[in-house]
Chains A and B, each alone.
Chain A
Amino acid sequence: DQQVKQNSPSLSVQEGRISILNCDYTNSMFDYFLWYKKYPAEGPTFLISISSIKDKNEDGRFTVFLNKSAKHLSLHIVPSQPGDSAVYFCAASSGKLIFGQGTELSVKP
């Protein structure tokens, strides 16, 4: 049973536009959420996180939004750059991390 779901396997965006990656979860006990970015042939790297006591966290071009009532998490990248092309994993924690399936973002010049 997939507790963390990323329903879009891929997303294509034009350079300079906004990228929105979505993540849904089912376990209301999750209290900490993270996004990781993965390039081919490399391990995932931490991007941004948010605690369940917040609904927004911003770091430069990256913003994570949390809607607890909808059990929905999203990552906004503005403006998108070709170097942002990667697989993005959301993860949720209630003591151990559960990852989503990943969304492959392609940013076209």
Chain B
Amino acid sequence: DVKVTQSSRYLVKRTGEKVFLECVQDMDHENMFWYRQDPGLGLRLIYFSYDVKMKEKGDIPEGYSVSREKKERFSLILESASTNQTSMYLCASSSSGARGQTGELFFGEGSRLTVL
């Protein structure tokens, strides 16, 4: 059964803390994505990566960075967490295939982050 696994389902952090969100996929997909989901705003793309060590900014990259050292793993880093980063974070992966970066996305179960 193909899977995207996010390391933490629920996290509570304090303002100013460094936060790591880890994501691993077992489908040998080239592309990986980080989204955040907020009520009334839908899913917004933070960063994506189409290859190891490659990364591209999405629509809301401010306050975030990412790391992709291995094909199966894509990490989202909040260098100094703030309360407005309280959200549901969703990792996804896709193969490149004929559709380039936007083949069907497979999502993880999400990480609910609360910043106090």
A residues near B (Cβ < 8 Å) are 4, 6, 9, 32, 34, 36, 41-46, 49, 89, 91, 93, 95-102
Contacts and interface: CB of A to CB of B under 8 A. Distances in A.
B70 interface: no
Nearest to B41: A101
A95 B102 contact: yes
B109 A100 contact: no
B104 A42 contact: no
Main secondary structure of the interface of A (DSSP, over half): strand
Given A41-B109, A43-B107, A44-B90, 10 more contacts: A34-B104, A36-B107, A43-B109, A46-B104, A95-B102, A96-B48, A98-B45, A99-B35, A100-B42, A101-B40
Contacts of B104: 34, 46, 49
Interface string B84-116: 000000101000000111101111111000000
Given A96-B45, A101-B40, A43 B102 contact: no
A93 B42 CA distance: 15
Given A43-B90, A43-B110, A99 B100 contact: no
Interface residues of B, number: 25
B11 interface: no
Contacts of B4: 43
A95 B40 CA distance: 24
B102 A44 contact: no
Contacts of B108: 43
Nearest to B100: A95
A43 B111 CA distance: 10
Contact of A41 (B45, B101, B110): B110
Contacts of A9: 40
Interface string B35-67: 100001111110010000000001100000000
B43 A99 contact: yes
Contact of A32 (B102, B106, B109): B102
Nearest to B91: A43
14 contacts: A4-B42, A6-B42, A42-B109, A43-B92, A43-B107, A43-B109, A44-B90, A44-B105, A89-B42, A89-B43, A93-B102, A96-B48, A97-B105, A101-B41
